[in-house]
Amino acid sequence: MKRKWSIMLFLFLLVLVGCSSSAGSFPSNNMIKIKKEVYIASNDTIPKDEIADHIGEIEVSSTDVRDHDDDHIISSNSYEAGTRLFKIKDKNHMDMIAVEESEEQYVIAYNTKYKKSK
């Protein structure tokens, strides 16, 4: 009888863990998709004087993976629609971009294909 209860408890916990909700299959909570390029926002800040040309703004903000399939929109799973994106002076925008978190604070979002030099 004790073994039966142990098995039932194990199965219940297995079902409970298997049914937990998550943010989908995103690689990160701070994902930004521009065309076919995926960037992950970091905690690295960048001074305003290093900000260059305006690239665009987040058009779609959604935690549903299917909302990010269109390659003709700029989307994010955490930043709100309207969040502004910029190039960084003397940096290749295919490697990294700046994300405006406030008028005076910008963070760097790195392309998932970008490799930092050591």
Task: Read off the pLDDT of residues 61-116 as tens digits, 9 standing for 90 and up.
Answer: 887 777 667 677 898 999 999 999 999 999 988 999 999 999 889 999 999 887 76
Burial of 66 (0-12, 13-18, 19+ CB in 10 A): exposed
Predicted confidence (pLDDT) per residue in 34-64, tens digit: 988 999 999 999 999 999 999 999 998 887 7
**Residue spans per domain, the chain:** 29-111
